[in-house]
Amino acid sequence: MTWREETTLQRKEHPKPSRILSCRSTLQLELDAGQEIQYQPGDHVGVFPCNRKEIVDGVLSRLTIRVDLDVPVQVQVLKANNTSNGVVKTWEPHDTVPSCSLRTLLTWFLDITTPLAPIQLENLASVATDPEEQRRLLQLATVSLWRVKVVVVFDINDKDSDFCIRDLLFEKISNIRCGPMLQNPSAYEEWRNWKFPHLLEVLTEFPSVRPTASLLVTHLNPLQPRFYSISSSPEVHPGQIHLTVAVVNYKTQGGKGPTHYGVCSNFLQDFPPGQNIHLFVRSAHNFSLPLSRNLPVIMVGPGTGIAPFRGFWQHKMALAQASGGT
């Protein structure tokens, strides 16, 4: 908990009311692998989190889609292969997007909280029905001259036909028929740094944008694992991995905007005990205890920076006790 005095510090006999600026919590997690797990103090663990339900549901409500959100679907892309008979184009399963429901995709596999890149904003501009919103999105996207454009081909006579991603080509921003645009090269950075918006906030800011499922699924980045220092020793806690995690919550727009929640820290905080979490160990070859057990070690780690050192001192104590030392 962080607090700040409204005025100068008063005497203890006359305390002054203080305003709480922020509250922070830290988690100590004990993960049981159910079997021996190989790691060394100083290593990291990568945790696969999921996106918050309210953001996922909000994004799904904005899609132009005519399928059950909980029915498994397969995302396919058109690939050109050189053969003896020439170039043959075939529809093949997406390399990184698994076959599952759209709700599962947005929950577990796609990044919907990191601010969209300029090229992604340009893709949203292609489906904006309000000219002013389209102009604004393209203004935010014009940080370089060239963009990868997605051509979506569909049967205009068949209102029920799905959009299909058909081809990728390069097109100059100046050739986009969207009217005059304000050329502000810093507009995107200013917008991004001030709002740091997740996908639902972007769709809320530009309500005429109702993207197709294929447009989002093929242009959103994969949801990446979050890495944490292991704060335990396998000599003391065999078959377990301990984590020390600061729960991240903050307000955007100078503290006056909406509250944003760290994806993985809040996922871990809300996760029911006894359930399975998907993770993996990543070695830290340049961050480990010295080979000599007798060499003194000075550890400096403010806040949750003590996480790896907790594993270090557990390990040193276990080895010392095993050898009859101190």
* pLDDT tens per residue, range 139-149: 999 854 333 33
Segment holding 134, helix H or strand E:
helix 131-141
CA 50 to chain centre: 9
Q: Which residues of 200-212 are buried (b: 16+ CB within 10 A; e: fewer)?
A: bbbbeebeebbbb
Residue 183 CB-half CA count within 13 A: 5
pLDDT for the residue 112: 98
Summarize pLDDT for 35-58 with one digit per residue, the tens: 878 999 999 999 999 999 999 999
User: Phi-psi bin for 196: left (phi > 0), alpha (psi -120 to 50), beta?
Assistant: left
User: With 60 as the cut, is the pLDDT of residue 126 above it?
Assistant: yes
* Residue range(s) of every CATH 1.20.990.10 domain in the chain: 53-219
Task: Return the CATH fold of 2-49+225-322.
Answer: Elongation Factor Tu (Ef-tu); domain 3 (2.40.30)
Look-up: residue for tokens 């132009």? 64
Which residues belong to CATH 2.40.30.10 in the chain? 2-49+225-322
In this model, does residue 158 exceed pLDDT 80?
no
- Mean predicted lDDT score pLDDT of the chain: 81
The closest of 6, 18, 165, 11 to 97, measured between CA atoms, is 165
Which of 291 and 212 is assigned the larger pLDDT? 212
**Predicted local distance difference test score (pLDDT) of residue 124:** 96
CA distance 69 to 66: 9
According to the model, what pLDDT value does residue 325 have? 64
- Separation between Cα atoms, residue 46 and residue 128, nearest integer Å: 37
Please give the helix or strand (H or E) that residue 150 lies within, else none. Answer: strand 146-153
Nearest CA to 80 among 166, 202, 142, 146?
A: 166
Where does residue 303 fall: left (phi above 0), alpha (psi -120 to 50 degrees), or beta otherwise?
left
pLDDT of residue 14: 61
Q: Quick check: 162 pLDDT over 60?
A: no
For 246-289, the pLDDT digits (tens) are: 999 999 999 999 999 999 999 999 998 888 999 999 988 888 88
Element (H, E) at 102: helix 102-104
User: DSSP code of 252?
Assistant: S
278 or 324, higher pLDDT? 278
CATH topology (fold) of 53-219: NADPH-cytochrome p450 Reductase; Chain A, domain 3 (1.20.990)
> Distance between CA atoms of 146 and 162, rounded to whole angstroms?
28
What pLDDT score does 59 carry? 97
Structural contact between residues 114 and 222, judged by C-beta atoms closer than 8 angstroms: no
* pLDDT surpassing 90 at residue 224: yes
Considering only 26-30, 54-58, 129-133, which range has the smallest mean pLDDT? 26-30
Residue 133: the pLDDT is 97
* pLDDT of res. 294: 77
Backbone dihedral angles phi then psi of residue 198, each to the nearest 5 degrees: -85, 175
Q: What confidence tens digit (pLDDT) does each residue in 204-223 have?
A: 999 999 999 989 988 999 99
Q: Average pLDDT in the 48-73 region?
A: 92
Lowest average pLDDT, out of 78-92, 110-124, 145-159, goes to 145-159
Does an H or E element contain 261, and which?
A: strand 259-261
The confidence score (pLDDT) of residue 302 equals 76
Is the pLDDT at 32 greater than 80? The verdict is: yes
pLDDT in tens, 183-200: 566 889 999 999 999 999
Pairwise pLDDT comparison (314 vs 137), residue with the higher score? 137
Q: What is the pLDDT of residue 161?
A: 41
- 281 or 162, which is more confident? 281
297-320 pLDDT, tens digit per residue, is 887 877 778 888 888 888 888 888
pTM of the predicted structure, to 2 decimals: 0.76
